[in-house]
Structure 1
Amino acid sequence: MELKTLNEIEIISAPHSKISEVDFENLTFGNVFTDHMLVCDYVDGAWQKPVIEPYAPFMIDPSAKVFHYGQAIFEGMKAYKDEQDDVWLFRPDENYHRFNKSATRMAMPEVPEDVFLGGLHRLLEIEKEWVKKGKGNTLYIRPFMIATGHGVIAAPSQEYRFMIILSPARAYYSGEVRVLIAEHFSRAANGGIGAAKAAGNYSAQFYPTKLANEQGFQQIIWTDDATHTKLEEAGTMNVFFRINDTIYTAPTSERILDGVTRKSVIELAQRENIKVEVRSVLVDELVAAAKDGSLKEIFGAGTAAVINPIVGFSYLGEYYELPKLENSVALEIKEKLTNIQYKLAEDTFGWTVKI
């Protein structure tokens, strides 16, 4: 796809840049933000003229619907800089379409393509110096929308604010990850909002994840809400299981997010003649594979970490450590995927978009 710069936009430049004050070698993920942000309000049934302005707090009514009824959605994307100093996005159309699916599910207005993608293009043109070269360096992109209409009646807001903020990031290392398979808590339920990038999905995970952390586990592998027998997602990521030489992952549904990295892993694995099956994986199946040695790898896939290997899991009080592999399929796929993102390998899929 081709991104077109949005011309109908007001630009208010920051009086000075804070880029010289940032230690790009020691970044905490999501804590430092660039000089500018994009803001576009929805008022009287129409989107207003977007503005790129200095990054700063803003005023909001205490009765805004976002505080009381949780109308808030977001996306996670990244920009990359190649060795020629060109800036690239990775499958931004997927994030745009998913954002509007989330908006529809949360009774929020869809954001026009020229505001979301065109506005992002213009913002990245302004902030391109914040995208550093070198594999592992990225600019994390957070588009989001909140309900700003006032009043505490339980009804959808009539006013909204769409924003894009940018945060420089280094390679995401989380150390060895061991997970607890959920026996009681659920991430999402049929008929709910699990497939939407709704803010409430993530806050609902914090408590059971806190309990898992207290037991020495970094994350939870979520199971289906009805029977807790089907493996669904790992923390905030889609999850894959390698049993013998086949990779398995759950199909997307009302409970499972349609991850952009997930799609890319599947397509890339298929190109490399790695067998992939998209089907429900049972907890009992995973335990049996761990016991007989056919379970080789478990890994999460998402924007922040790209691919995050999982070294072991616990279920019903019993812990299973995975084998140490010299040739990890997960890390092989991660290498090939990140090489495409950083333009170190040919993009045969047409996934990358130049700014």
Structure 2
Amino acid sequence: MMQTMHENAEQVRHVPVLPLETLAALAPRAGGRYLDGTLGMGGHASAVLASAPDIELCGLDRDEDALELAKQRLATFGARTHLFHCRYSGFADALGQLGWSKVDGALLDIGVSSLQLDEAGRGFSFYGDGPLDMRMDQSSGQPSAWHWVNRESFDKLKDCIATLGEEPQAGRIARAIVDARQKDAIDTTAQLANLVEKAYPAAWRAKARRHPATRTFQALRMAVNDELGELQRFLDQILAYLPVGGRLAVITFHSLEDRMVKQAMRHWAEGCRCARHIPRCVCGHQPEVRILHKKPVQAGSDELAVNPRASSAKLRAVEKIAEASGS
């Protein structure tokens, strides 16, 4: 029985979110070139490569462990895969190394991976005690979650937890962290989770559907990895690398990220951008994309039964219909 449970956990760990929906959104075609900016363990990339002959894929990830697993998974596709250890906002450099000026489709699956969550030593989760790290790229030299928890000011901690975690108890939590670290450093995920839980009012703890530390851990992870900045830098660049007919699919797990993607796609899909008081269009701007779904695509009951982590996933996608025009 234990072996079966372990096998099931491993199977879920390697299943990509919204696999059929993502493939339909990208509509990969034979001989096309595709970008997977968040390669993870290669689930989506494998599906794209297997969908049509002669497809080439450029896969990026800043997590070296995930990149190694993806390399093994995609080995069967041989020279059709090109993998790079880098942030997805740096995709232009990777494409430049390949001599690609355009890609027929691009994919992002944003958020923490099962690999990161399940490894206590990475410090992403409070379900297993580990060091306060949370860096997706542990070789980056960037400050870890330990630095945020033990060195940042009360105001910066409060703002981080309130904004990125959308946590209503951000002030109480930040105060508890600052008070506790004056006595001893907060070194582990269990220490931090315990602090946050105690900072929650008893009545809130009793009614909470999730662990009280969920939003705080989410906020710290997003801050450590500059996740909103990373997404914005990508969105600012990607449209220029899609030809007419090229597609972009983005899967988010957080309301702030989903809002950024929705707003960017709506902006690209706009026609005239003149000020409202101007009676006739003078900007000449035409829509650059067609939004493929009126509402974000979400996991159905069958997928959720196998992979509960897909519950907060939202897929948005566009097809490029014209090059930029006007202002």
**Larger strand proportion of the pair:** 1
Give the TM-score normalised by structure 1. 0.24
Give the TM-score normalised by structure 2. 0.25
**Larger helix proportion of the pair:** 2
Bigger relative CO (Cα 8 Å, ≥ 6 apart):
1
